[in-house]
Amino acid sequence: MVQHTLRQKLAILADAAKYDASCASSGTAKKNSLGGKGIGSTEGMGICHAYAPDGRCISLLKILLTNHCIFDCHYCINRKSSNVARARFTPQEVVDLTLNFYRRNYIEGLFLSSGIVKSANHTMEQLVEVARILREEHDFRGYIHLKTIPEADAEIIHQAGLYADRVSINVELPTDTGLTRLAPDKNAGQIEGAMGRTKERILTAKDERKKFRHAPRFAPAGQSTQMIVGADDANDAAIIGKASRLYDSFGLRRVYYSAFSPIPDASAVLPLKSPPLLREHRLYQSDWLMRFYGFAPGEVADAAEADGNLPLDIDPKLAWALKFRASFPVDVNRAPRELLLRVPGLGTKAVARILAVRRHRSLRLEDVARLTASVAKVRPFICTVDWRPTLLTDRADLKGLVAPKVEQLELF
Amino acid sequence: MQNVAIASHYAVHLPAPDDFAAWRERARGLVQCDVPPDRVSWIEPGGTGDLFAVEGPARREKRLPVPPADAPSVRASKRFLEVAKSAALHSDPARFGLLYRVLWRLQRFPRLMEDKADPDVRRLEELAKAVRRDAHKMHAFVRFREVEEEDGTPHFVAWFEPDHHIIRAEAAFFMRRFANMRWSILTPRGSIHWDGETMREGPPARRSDAPSGDPVEDLWRSYYAAIFNPARLKVAAMLSEMPKKYWKNLPEAELIPQLIAGAQAREAQMVSSGSLDRGERPATLEGIDTAIHACRMCPIGELDNRAVMGEGALGAPLMIVGEQPGDHEDRAGRPFVGPAGQLLGEYLERAGIDRSQAYVTNAVKHFKFVWKGKRRLHQSPGAKEIDTCRWWLEAERNLVQPRLVLALGASAARGLLGKTVSITKARGQPMRLEDGTELWITAHPSYLLRLEGEAREEQARLFAADLAAVRERLRELAR
């Protein structure tokens, strides 16, 4: 076998990890290194230490322990039948890299995942070992996210949660049939079973800490998951439905969507085209609508077009407003928070500002303009003391007035 | 109030540009003396005040009024205090004047801070936000470089250029994070040093005071280049969070131009090297025959060989799929004519299956081999090659429409299922293909040829049993 230098291994195993979307380092228990022996702190807010030209934040050292894998999932660059360079880190090498990067303030911590070698249990033990060395031998108090392997024993996964801030298990695909077809070695029941057990553990640990101050924490930043968009034929309505079920059943912090992007040496059964980034963006927007704007999953699905997919040219909130025009205009001086949140162009912050200001005086259109990013977008859907969108919401060409302009092509 | 001369103007000198406590104390006194905002100018070290303040030394040194003992206490909302502490660190010279004006107005309108549409309040919030962002970027973009001190201990030194006066306020963040590390942060506005126990402040520094490199930066750059996905280029998103002004102090930023330039090319290459944009499938078996001869979708097609088409009639109830043509088949241009083909024929006959009634073909259409002297030595096709050739196999299957498909060996099974299965586990019972067609899997007859003695007898028995089961099933399906 070829012997790689540390730098080559890092390049191979970071390359193999980049298809995982999550890089969050926020929302965990507050801790710092005062009074300890090592380094590290987490203060609630995540920090993005760099941005790659793909616009994604680099917060954690996101690598695989190894990209050798006995599984053969079609969408995955590391599948058994893929012809990529393979490498393997020892746990100590990962520990040293993490600490060396952390000391120089390059990262918030480590996001460690792995291909499956020998067995699920063996692999999971190796991942836990890295976290153990960091926490116990180096008193590292930065952020650790461990990807857990649903096929591994519950006891080892439990160990992972004791060292990590966050654990995650990927559901991979929005439908069970997609999973059977594209990830033949994985099993939807097993994945959801593991997520269910993790949820129980997180709840139990929280409960115990209420009673005993020194009860061990278990994954204080919760659990998350990831779904690949565009590798199978599930439409947006199905994806949103699945995400909402996952939030409800497993108390997930986040469901990440990853636009399936062409991978080197791709399997022949997959669509090879540029990743559907805009679709991924619309799904994140709909995720936001459910988490922060009080939309029910069914309502978001109502905003979809006949084929069950969200429109790509306008955002889902605007799409919903255009479909349900009877709910508008909303009176910014009287409407409750829930209704204000439905207005396209009003975000949660703008709504909070409106609620604060209107305690003192009635809002005019120019006040709204000062409180929001774009009054032109909001105007057709609200009324103020001096403004009423007469007939505007009845106009058939309303979409043309509020939708973002399509960029005109250059003359050739 | 009686001790304030009408139209007198006060110039207040602050000891440091980030000294909020000093401003707070003086502002409190001025409000108690009822000095209106347009009568005060605030001067920070090195800064200039307004015209009145620099007019003459006598004016500048005028003593601030002393508030009367019975002056009402000054009140401010919690939100004001929060915002003011941040806004005071902004580099805008007008910030202290603005703070004073808002404090002054707060005495009359205690809930002023809630009026987010008020221009003064908005400006104050903007200043505070800019300072918070600067602090956040400092947490993110400080890059330490390791130097060894004379006593052999490591010392981590960073050079950073903040926009606002945030160094002293943010020192605590780095202390909490790197409590057990010796570090210094040097900036043009001053420096801070932590030795593991105490914090020291130092004078402004120059970039040349900081170390120029660190060997770990090579590793970090490798990571930065590898974690970037060229298929998702979004330069604007990167620039909004990591503006160019920070690039000169980020070791990884020097890679950005080449990563962007290479990205489109890399994506195009990934898509085209894996691309199977082959348009419509041929509508006849003859069409497939012609097309596979021209197929170069995988490297096997480039070898010195010819494509071998399946044999049999449309509508044949049984489709038999092997691995790939061998040396004999490649010469004859027909499937299953070599030793393995002859063995298959014998077993089929014994099982009572008429080979001439079946459609016989291979998972891979070209012969994969390596030269060994003058002989062409068989090489198993790779998973990717089988998956690529699946296009043709499915085209044949769609046209022939067999009731039952018999896959001989693991390659054939992969060609039909798209995944690798174990023959030992899969044999002996039917499976369903995606369109519902029944699939039976058994060993490839060439496997029997490679075995000897008892093992061969055992495998021959299993092979015969599989074929017998297929025959029974075919009879049931024919009814």
pLDDT in tens, B54-108: 333 444 446 788 888 888 889 899 999 999 999 999 999 999 999 999 999 999 9
pLDDT in tens, B398-417: 899 999 999 999 999 999 98
Q: Using a CB-CB distance cutoff of 8 angstroms, which residues of chain A are in contact with residue B223?
A: 10-11, 14, 61, 63, 101
Strand boundaries in A91-245, DSSP class E? 109-113, 143-147, 166-168, 223-229
Model pLDDT, residue B90:
96
pLDDT in tens, chain A (412 residues): 567 899 999 999 998 888 777 788 888 889 999 988 999 999 988 899 999 988 889 999 999 999 999 888 888 888 888 888 899 999 999 999 999 999 999 999 999 999 999 999 999 999 999 999 999 999 999 999 999 999 899 899 999 999 999 999 988 888 888 888 888 888 888 899 999 999 999 999 988 888 888 888 899 999 999 988 888 888 888 888 889 889 988 988 889 888 786 666 666 655 556 667 788 888 889 989 988 998 988 888 888 888 888 888 888 999 998 888 888 889 999 999 999 999 998 999 999 989 988 888 888 888 888 888 888 888 888 888 888 877 655 666 677 666 665 554 444 4
Q: Which of A78, A106, A256 to substitute to test the interface with B, most B CBs within 10 Å?
A: A106
Q: How far apart are CA A241 and CA A262, in angstroms?
A: 26
pLDDT (mean) for B312-318:
91
Output the CA–CA distances (angstroms, integers) from residue A150 to A193, A252, A375, in the order listed.
8, 16, 48
Q: Do B234 and A33 touch (CB under 8 A)?
A: no
> What's the pTM?
0.73
Q: What is the spatial order of strands in the sheet that B431-432 belongs to? A: B359-362, B318-322, B404-408, B438-442, B431-432
Q: How far apart are CA A127 and CA B60, in angstroms?
A: 67
Q: What values do phi and psi take at B417, rounded to 5?
A: -95, -25
Q: On the CB side of A352, how many CA atoms lie within 13 Å of its CA?
A: 5
* A positions 36-55 inside 8 Å of B (CB): 36-41, 43, 45, 47-55
Q: Do A274 and B111 touch (CB under 8 A)?
A: no
* A positions 167-196 inside 8 Å of B (CB): 181, 184
Model pLDDT, residue B268:
67
Query: Is the preceding peptide bond at A150 cis, omega within 30 degrees of 0?
Result: no
Q: What values do phi and psi take at B288, rounded to 5?
A: -65, -45
Q: Using a CB-CB distance cutoff of 8 angstroms, which residues of chain A are in contact with residue B180?
A: 33, 36-39
Tokens of B88: 């005071």
Q: Do B418 and A264 touch (CB under 8 A)?
A: no
pLDDT in tens, B296-307: 888 888 888 889
Q: Do B230 and A103 touch (CB under 8 A)?
A: no
**Is A277 in the B-facing interface, judged by CB distances under 8 Å?**
yes
Compute the count of residue pairs across chains A and B with CB atoms less than 8 Å apart. 215
ipTM attached to this prediction: 0.83
Q: Do A14 and B227 touch (CB under 8 A)?
A: yes
Q: Is the pLDDT of residue B8 over 70?
A: yes
Contacts of B129 (CB under 8 A, 6+ apart): none
Q: Do A10 and B227 touch (CB under 8 A)?
A: no
Q: Do B274 and A43 touch (CB under 8 A)?
A: no
Output the CA–CA distances (angstroms, integers) from residue A263 to A15, A170, B272, in the order listed.
11, 18, 11
CA B415 to chain centre: 33
- For residues A71 and A172, the answer to whether their CB atoms sit within 8 Å is no
Chain A residue nearest residue B119, CA to CA: A370
Q: Do A11 and B270 touch (CB under 8 A)?
A: no
Tokens of B92: 């805008």
